[in-house]
Amino acid sequence: MLTPTTTAARMDRLPITRAHKIALATLAFVFLFEFGDLNTFAYVAPALIKHLAFSVQDVAVVTSAAFLGMAVGAVFGGRISDLIGRKRALLYSTLTFSIFSLVNATGFNVPTFIIFRFLTGVGLSAMVVAATTYISEVMPAARRGRMQSAVMAVGLAGIPVMSFSAKGIVPLGTDTWRLVFVLGSAALLAVPALVTLPESPRWLVHKNRLEAAEGVIARLERRAGPLTPIDETPSTAAPAPARQGYRDLFRGRTGRTTLFLAVVWIFQTLGFYGFVAWVPTLLAKHGFSVAESLGFAALTTIGAVPGALLAWPVTDRFGRKVPLVVVSLATAVSGLAYGLTFNPLAIVVFGFCVHLLIQTFATLLYAYSPELFPTGLRNAGNGLVYGTGRLANIFGPLIVAAIFAGLGYQAVFGYIAACWLVVAVAIALFGPRTGKQSLEALSTKTAETRRAPKPAAYAKSSPA
């Protein structure tokens, strides 16, 4: 009889099978274009300023609209994923952001870009929340962080790919910037592979679809070869799950987890996109040509991929908390140093460091955030805190534009450093330690377990 505890024990004893590798490769491909599309407007913005007479304030408004879409996509997409499943949520969200990325190529003024970037943002965040939750639920506990790092490392290659593509494409003509958005829609090629992915057994058990869950786990076990016996002692067995509603995200220990992660996501997002989304435009406004600003930005983005790989050796060995604190402090220092220099070589070096560190942080946080919520609310909780960060960043571009207009170029990077300091302090004071623990064990520490149903409820099965 499958229960949440036996499901966790059977999933966490598995090696990385061929099915795991296919899922990881598929998600990595989708992330490649998700990260690429996330930054397309930043690379196209200097051309829009030049050819369509956009102002810095126009760029800020459109960027804010995209983040409003991301907030909507994360919050509602996360909740929908808890209702319809991780697999279908991944499929629908990938279709959404890819199709609307293609539609972005038809934009011709500020209102059209506001609409198109909003709708693209809905799909982007819904996909990220569903994918990170899927990885946390399907990958074995001892390798969960490293598998997230592997997916991110491949996906983050989309940033320099998109950056160098924009550097080569945008200067070719007045309308060639449209091709950058076309490139961002290539995640549509992953749709056939997404259709074949197995559903998360943890989600299936939570929905009492025990036959379907048993089928998925059995297929994974057949491909894994000989396995160690399940160790389910009273000290490690998780209690039966509570009947959880969305309001439980705001109550008791789960509520404190939600609040803590919301603060981290808000200031991480402000610090992250304050740098990534604005560097090309700020450099152009500071006196560098469009080609030079895009060139500097392209070179610094090379740090993104090694940044994700930097998380690989530490995420499962040391857990997430300590590395997150160290990396956020280092990001604050590097970002401030970037803003204090005008030497081209120093701009590239410190920009490389910032890109490396913020992607190390993002990789760790993508693993950390979903594992702190119980299965029934994992995607909803992860989506809520992720979406809260995106919602706060509606004001982020406006804050950057106001600081730049009132206090100048260097003050923007002081603001970015301050955001990362807040993140470091929040995690140091309130973040629980994780790593090499089952999701169910973590849930008993960070979530409420009230109103648990009788064990007999898990003996029932429903059609797949």
Annotate 106-162 with DSSP letters as a single string.
T--SHHHHHHHHHHHHHHHHHHHHHHHHHHHHHS-GGGHHHHHHHHHHHHHTHHHHH
**Has residue 235 got a pLDDT over 80?**
no
Distance CA(351)–CA(41), nearest Å, equals 19
pLDDT in tens, 127-176: 999 999 999 999 998 888 889 889 988 888 887 788 788 888 888 888 89
Residue given tokens 């004071």 in the structure block: 429
In angstroms, what CA-CA distances link 167 with 162, 179, 266, 289? 8, 12, 30, 12
**Least confident piece of the model among 28-37, 186-195, 232-241, 407-416:** 232-241
Predicted local confidence at residue 429, as pLDDT: 94
pTM: 0.79
Top CATH class of 4-226+238-459 equals mainly alpha
What are the boundaries of each domain within the chain? 4-226+238-459
**Has residue 401 got a pLDDT over 90?**
no
Mean pLDDT of the chain: 84
**Has residue 220 got a pLDDT over 70?**
yes
In contact, 242 and 373? CB cutoff 8 Å:
no
The predicted model gives 25-39 an average pLDDT of: 89
* Bigger pLDDT: 439 vs 72: 72
pLDDT in tens, 347-376: 778 888 888 999 899 989 998 998 899 888
* Chain-centroid distance, C-alpha 330: 20
Distance CA(46)–CA(52), nearest Å, equals 10
Counting residues of the chain whose pLDDT is more than 90, the rounded percentage is 39
The predicted model gives 40-44 an average pLDDT of: 83
**Least confident piece of the model among 37-41, 81-85, 220-224:** 37-41
Predicted local confidence at residue 460, as pLDDT: 41
Per-residue confidence at 288, pLDDT binned at 50, 70, 90? Answer: low
pLDDT in tens, 51-105: 888 887 888 888 888 888 999 999 998 889 888 999 999 999 999 999 999 999 9
Predicted local confidence at residue 135, as pLDDT: 93
Distance CA(12)–CA(34), nearest Å, equals 28
